[in-house]
Amino acid sequence: MSEQTLEIPCNIPADAVNPVEPFLRMDRMPHIWCPGCGIGTTVNCFTRALIDSHANLDKVAIVSGIGCTGRVAGYANLDSFHTTHGRAIPFATGLKLANPELQVVVYSGDGDLFAIGGNHFIHAARRNMDLKVICVNNLTYAMTGGQTAPTTPSKVISATNPYGVFEPAFNLVALAEAAGASYVARWTTFHVKQLSRSMEEVLRKKGFCFIEVISPCPTLYQRRNKMGDGLDTMKYYKQASKIRHGAPTAECDLTKSGEIVVGKFVDRDRPSYFEMLNSQMTETLGDRYAEPEVMCEQC
Amino acid sequence: MLTEIRIAGFGGQGVILAAAVIGKARAIFEGGYATMTQSFGPEARGGSSSAQVILSSEPILYPYITRPDILIVMSQEAGARFIPELKPGGILITEQELVRVDHMPAGTRAFGVPATRLAEELGRKMVLNIVMVGFFGAVTSLIATEALRQAVADSVPPASQKLNLQAFEKGYEYGASLIEKLREEGETEMVLSFESES
Amino acid sequence: MEDELAASITIQGAVWGGAKAFTVTSGPGFSLMMEHIGYAAMTETPCVFVDVQRGGPSTGLPTLPAQADMMQARWGSHGDYGIIALCPNSPQECFDLAITAFNLSEEFRVPVMLMLDECVGHMTEKVIIPDAAAIDVYPRRFTHLPPGEFRLFEPREDKVPDMVRAGDGYRFHVTGLTHDERGYPSMNVDTQRSSVTRLLEKLQPFTGERALSETADLEDAEVVVVSYGITSRVAQRAIDLARQKGVRAGKFRIISAWPFPEKHIAALAPKVKAMVVPELNLGQMVHEVERAAAGRCKVRLVPHAGGTVHNPEAILKAILEAAE
Ligand SMILES: Cc1ncc(C[n+]2csc(CCOP(=O)(O)OP(=O)(O)O)c2C)c(N)n1
Ligand code: SF4
Ligand SMILES: [Mg+2]
């Protein structure tokens, strides 16, 4: 998506070939994504957010599940984990509990996070576990050939619903809010600036943060539904999306070709899992409680 | 006798359907046997696509091809990758405007067809795979033309049957006149029917 | 369904609702189904699980073949129980054995595993589908007893109990807990012994007379190739090559892999020099062959870690060496 390439940030050395290179495993290029796929765009935005947040990259870990989006972990030049289908969040939970100073980012697909992994998502949000969850929502199980996911809107044609989807889809932002997330935003791959800003914001925020990125899968979803290529989808996103910060998430349902409400919907402060743990234990045990020291200094 | 065929190109060219049509012509409409296997996975999407077909008069055991007798290639990348694997004396069929052939194994008999252009003449570029099947039928004489025709009709949705059959005829005619021309020019080596060779 | 955990228990709800039901998966999903394979075994719910085996462990080799889930199919859920597993080697057999799988699941009230490999799973070949009327269907053995007299887990002579369906007025109870013949939890040593023993004993016929296999050239064989699934087709080429070289090779193709056809292997062992066992794993069914052969002939594994099938030459080499 050439029209969407990011401006080169000013704090990059002049001899760097491409500003995103230091953040990617260039020895693993070319990547597997199809031409026009939105996943790469989101990775560009994430890279930009890492640059702008001045995060210590040795302390950022990325955890993915399985899927086209799940391959992001393999391309990011960070400590990265490509886990099993649906289990990125519980893996990330363990990582964070064992090493609280890590900034743990979960980067995965809609099917991975909300079908097989849906239960883990709501529980991590409920606990306000300190995870930054980025969901590339291409409205389908892409890697396996475009089957219906819990995010696929009504009427859409998919590999498993050749005559049209009839089950209602999850509204991910409403689900995240209801389950307790501290931060909830939605963008499309057209909104590269806003998306990187959101990503940067959650890298600084405590608690369970969720960003949904509506993204094209031209190879399967767009093709099957005669929605054109990656560029046509950008035009659709541009024309159909409406920025409404703070919009009630219940009003943000997605449909096959209707309006896409984007923006930051939730930004609240709830006690994090660690804070709740410490406060409850201190209240009950008083002096006898020692905060967990799970990091082994010698190892 | 086993005949091993590989068909390769890029995703979206209908490589798998072309392979299925050839296999079906032999297995269903000629009453013989055919086995098709294909490569799946993320790398098979958008990028390259390849299918293997084995034809035989008896049940087929080993499911993969070892060295293809016939290679049908529809992209430069597929050509680069698979032409060196062709059996010496084998048949190479190319989409001639998409594949430039620099080297090929000794004794290869190569036939090219502008399948994409012929398909475009019919108004639908996507039927280039069936043009290739028609051309394959004409230059190899490996499968009865009527069986191939039936397999085409049987493998496509009813709405596009007519178009696909036209594509088949177009490829077939192009192949038949190419063979005729070669024969007139005395290139008998090239026109020996495939089966009489092995 | 949202995942394999869900699919594997949804089918069982469907069965108790009166339908025949199955689910299909590959390695990672099969691992997730293990809990409910145990549930199906314990509750004697007739259903079918299809596993298209890929290279593992974990995500491994999606869409590339292996046969490394064979032990998992047999032992993957916790506790003692039995299942039936069938191994087709062609699309035609996928069709035929799917029917057999349903029939056996009804006859024995067990989960039946249809163990494909990716090669067979993705292969395209001619499949002849008979007239519906020509297909043998084993109907569910619904009880003829009225409510009140019927006991859901009271075995008949063949050790298999009759079935009922929800909504027919039986007010029956199904539980994964150890249960008595009424289906009520009965967690004591005696019930545990009798019910778990029966779960295994009802499948005993498959070790011998009910086992499904395909054999050739066994009369004069000095080396027998024991194989299953796609490997049996590769092995046949090796057998033919060995015969051309004057080695009397024979074929024993396992179709019902679980319960293991141990009586057949045991009977064959003293008559041959060796058994050669090629499989797309680093040694699974070969342990069963060794156990059944019990030292009465040599047993040689031809391992392969998966990703493709064996080179027939590797199997041929093993046959020739075993014949010496
Ligand atoms: C337990 C298990 N079930 C199924 C699969 C097959 N599988 C791989 S990716 C995928 C879906 C991916 O969808 P999504 O998370 O939306 O990612 P996308 O490819 O769309 O980016 C599935 C079902 C698997 N790997 N493991
Ligand atoms: S299949 Fe869809 S989601 Fe996957 S890489 Fe291709 S375009 Fe992207
Ligand atoms: Mg998806």
pLDDT single digits (tens) B112-158? 999 999 999 999 999 999 999 999 999 999 999 999 999 999 999 99
Residues of C whose CB is below 8 A from A82: 59
Report yes or no: A66 at the C interface, CB cutoff 8 Å. Answer: yes
pLDDT at C167 over 80: yes
pLDDT at B197 over 70: no
Chain B residues with a Cβ under 8 Å from any Cβ in chain A: 11, 42-43, 45-46
Contact B20 C312 (CB under 8 A): no
* Spatial separation of the C-alpha atoms in residues C3 and A194, rounded to whole Å: 33
Chains in touch with A (3+ beta-carbon pairs under 8 Å) read B, C
Ligand 2 atom nearest to CA at A39? 8
Residues of A whose CB is below 8 A from C58: 84
Q: Are C6 and C137 in a shared domain?
A: yes
* Per-residue pLDDT reduced to its tens digit, A138-170: 999 999 999 999 999 999 999 999 999 999 999
Report yes or no: A150 at the C interface, CB cutoff 8 Å. Answer: yes
Report yes or no: A34 at the B interface, CB cutoff 8 Å. Answer: yes
pLDDT number for residue B80: 93
* Per-residue pLDDT reduced to its tens digit, C40-95: 999 999 999 999 999 999 999 998 999 999 999 999 999 999 999 999 999 999 99
The range of the structural domain enclosing residue B166 comes to 2-195
* Spatial separation of the C-alpha atoms in residues C173 and C102, rounded to whole Å: 24
Q: Are C75 and C219 in a shared domain?
A: no
pLDDT number for residue A4: 41
| Helix, coil or strand: residue C223 | strand
Q: Strands C298-303, C274-279: parallel, antiparallel or unpaired by DSSP?
A: parallel
Give the residue on A whose Cα is nearest the Cα of C57: A84
* Spatial separation of the C-alpha atoms in residues C128 and A259, rounded to whole Å: 50
Whole-number average pLDDT of chain A: 92
Q: What is the DSSP string of A134-171?
A: EEEE-SSBTTTT-B--TTPPTT---SS-TT---SPPP-
Burial of C274 (0-12, 13-18, 19+ CB in 10 A): buried
Report yes or no: A234 at the C interface, CB cutoff 8 Å. Answer: no
pLDDT number for residue C313: 97
Ligand 2 in reach of A213 Cβ (< 6 A): no
Q: Using 50, 70 and 90 to split pLDDT, how confident is the model at B43?
A: very low
- The CA distance from B43 to the nearest CA of chain A, in Å, is 6
Contact status, residue C55 vs residue C64, Cβ threshold 8 Å: yes
pLDDT at B190 over 80: no
Q: Select from B33, B47, B35, B40 the least CA-distant residue to B6.
A: B35
Contact status, residue C104 vs residue C158, Cβ threshold 8 Å: no
pLDDT number for residue B185: 87
Average pLDDT over residues C226-244: 97
Q: Are C186 and C82 in a shared domain?
A: yes
Q: What is the CATH number of the domain that holds C258?
A: 3.40.50.920
Q: Are C134 and C8 in a shared domain?
A: yes
pLDDT at B195 over 60: no
Please check whether residue C124 lies inside any domain of the structure: yes
* Spatial separation of the C-alpha atoms in residues C54 and C304, rounded to whole Å: 13
Report percent pLDDT > 70 for chain C. 100
Contact status, residue C249 vs residue C225, Cβ threshold 8 Å: yes
pLDDT at A211 over 90: yes
Please check whether residue C207 lies inside any domain of the structure: no
pLDDT at A204 over 60: yes
Contact status, residue C82 vs residue C259, Cβ threshold 8 Å: yes
pLDDT number for residue A19: 76
* Spatial separation of the C-alpha atoms in residues A78 and A61, rounded to whole Å: 6
Please check whether residue C268 lies inside any domain of the structure: yes
pLDDT number for residue A5: 41
Query: What length is written for chain B?
Result: 198
pLDDT at C188 over 70: yes
Q: Using 50, 70 and 90 to split pLDDT, how confident is the model at A233?
A: very high
Chains in touch with B (3+ beta-carbon pairs under 8 Å) read A, C
Q: Select from B131, B136, B116 the least CA-distant residue to B163.
A: B131
Interface test with B, best of A29, A66, A138, A219 (most B CBs within 10 A): A219
Indicate left, alpha or beta for B27 from its phi (over 0: left) and psi (-120 to 50: alpha): alpha
* Spatial separation of the C-alpha atoms in residues A242 and A254, rounded to whole Å: 12
Determine the residue of C2, C3, C26, C53 to mutate for testing ligand 1's pocket, defined as the one with the most ligand atoms within 8 A of the Cβ atom: C26
Ligand 1 in reach of A109 Cβ (< 6 A): yes
* Per-residue pLDDT reduced to its tens digit, B58-114: 999 999 999 999 999 999 999 999 999 999 999 999 999 999 998 889 899 999 999
Report yes or no: B64 at the C interface, CB cutoff 8 Å. Answer: yes
Ligand 1 atom nearest to CA at A137? 16
Contact B61 C126 (CB under 8 A): no
pLDDT number for residue A11: 60
* Per-residue pLDDT reduced to its tens digit, A35-64: 899 999 999 999 999 999 999 999 999 999
Ligand 1 in reach of A23 Cβ (< 6 A): no
Ligand 2 in reach of A33 Cβ (< 6 A): yes
Give how many domains chain C has, as a whole number.
Answer: 2
Ligand 2 in reach of A37 Cβ (< 6 A): yes
Nearest ligand, measured from the Cα of A88: 1
Ligand 2 atom nearest to CA at A219? 7
pLDDT number for residue C19: 96
Ligand 2 atom nearest to CA at A218? 7
Nearest residue (by CA) to ligand 2, atom 3, is: A217
Identify the bridge partners of residue A176 per DSSP, sorted by sequence position: none
**φ/ψ of residue C298, rounded to 5:** -70, 150
* Per-residue pLDDT reduced to its tens digit, A111-143: 999 999 999 999 999 999 999 999 999 999 999
Determine the residue of A71, A87, A112, A151 to mutate for testing ligand 1's pocket, defined as the one with the most ligand atoms within 8 A of the Cβ atom: A112
Contact B45 A35 (CB under 8 A): no
Q: Using 50, 70 and 90 to split pLDDT, how confident is the model at B49?
A: confident
Whole-number average pLDDT of chain C: 97
Contact B33 C124 (CB under 8 A): no
Average pLDDT over residues C11-18: 96
Q: Which of A241-245, B12-16, C184-188, C255-259 bottoms out in mean pLDDT, i.e. has the lowest?
A: B12-16
- Rg of chain C over Cα atoms, rounded to whole angstroms, equals 21
Average pLDDT over residues C140-163: 96
Q: What is the CATH number of the domain that holds C168?
A: 3.40.50.970
Nearest ligand, measured from the Cα of A113: 1
Please check whether residue C208 lies inside any domain of the structure: no
Nearest ligand, measured from the Cα of C6: 1
Average pLDDT over residues C212-237: 97
Residues of B whose CB is below 8 A from A35: 46
Q: Where are the domains of chain A?
A: 19-270
Residues A19-270: name the CATH superfamily: Thiamin diphosphate (ThDP)-binding fold, Pyr/PP domains (3.40.50.970)
- The CA distance from A177 to the nearest CA of chain C, in Å, is 21
Give the residue on A whose Cα is nearest the Cα of B46: A34
Give the residue on A whose Cα is nearest the Cα of C63: A144
The range of the structural domain enclosing residue C118 comes to 1-202
For A:131-170, CB contacts with B below 8 A are: 143
Report percent pLDDT > 90 for chain C. 99
Nearest residue (by CA) to ligand 1, atom 20, is: A142
pLDDT number for residue C205: 98
Nearest residue (by CA) to ligand 2, atom 8, is: A37
Listed in sequence order, the residues at least 6 apart from C33 whose beta carbon sits closer than 8 Å to its beta carbon are C4, C5, C7, C8, C23, C25, C49
Q: Are C174 and C225 in a shared domain?
A: no
Q: Using 50, 70 and 90 to split pLDDT, how confident is the model at A6?
A: very low
Burial of B162 (0-12, 13-18, 19+ CB in 10 A): exposed
pLDDT number for residue A295: 55
pLDDT at B45 over 80: no
pLDDT at A66 over 70: yes
Nearest residue (by CA) to ligand 2, atom 5, is: A33
Report yes or no: A32 at the B interface, CB cutoff 8 Å. Answer: yes
* Spatial separation of the C-alpha atoms in residues C159 and C140, rounded to whole Å: 16
pLDDT number for residue A96: 96
Average pLDDT over residues A97-114: 97
Contact status, residue A72 vs residue A133, Cβ threshold 8 Å: no
Ligand 2 atom nearest to CA at A34? 6
Q: Are C142 and C54 in a shared domain?
A: yes
* Spatial separation of the C-alpha atoms in residues B152 and A282, rounded to whole Å: 75
* Spatial separation of the C-alpha atoms in residues C135 and C137, rounded to whole Å: 6
Report yes or no: A243 at the B interface, CB cutoff 8 Å. Answer: no
**Angle (nearest 5°) at CA C41 between C36 and C43:** 90
Burial of C103 (0-12, 13-18, 19+ CB in 10 A): middle
| Helix, coil or strand: residue A241 | strand
pLDDT number for residue A294: 61
pLDDT number for residue A274: 92
- The CA distance from C94 to the nearest CA of chain B, in Å, is 15
**φ/ψ of residue C191, rounded to 5:** -65, -40
Report yes or no: A74 at the C interface, CB cutoff 8 Å. Answer: no
Nearest ligand, measured from the Cα of A189: 2
Choose the closest CB to C123 out of B27, B28, B63: B63
Q: Are C136 and C223 in a shared domain?
A: no
The DSSP letter of residue A276 is H
pLDDT number for residue A15: 66
| pTM greater than 0.90 (yes/no) | yes
Report yes or no: B157 at the C interface, CB cutoff 8 Å. Answer: no
**Which residue did the predictor score with more confidence, C50 or A17?**
C50
Q: Are C127 and C152 in a shared domain?
A: yes
Nearest ligand, measured from the Cα of A65: 1
- The CA distance from B63 to the nearest CA of chain A, in Å, is 24
Ligand 2 atom nearest to CA at A69? 3
Choose the closest CB to C2 out of A82, A84, A116: A116
Contact A84 C2 (CB under 8 A): no
pLDDT number for residue A116: 98
Choose one of C173, C202, C231: the last residue of a domain: C202
Ligand 2 centroid to Cα of residue A202, in Å, is 26
**Residue by residue, what is the 3-state secondary structure of C30-87?**
HHHHHHHHHHHHHHCCCEEEEEEEEECCCCCEEEEECCCCHHHHHHCCCCCCCCEEEC
Report yes or no: B34 at the C interface, CB cutoff 8 Å. Answer: yes
Q: What is the CATH number of the domain that holds B140?
A: 3.40.920.10
Give how many domains chain B has, as a whole number.
Answer: 1
Contact B62 C312 (CB under 8 A): yes
Report yes or no: B119 at the C interface, CB cutoff 8 Å. Answer: no
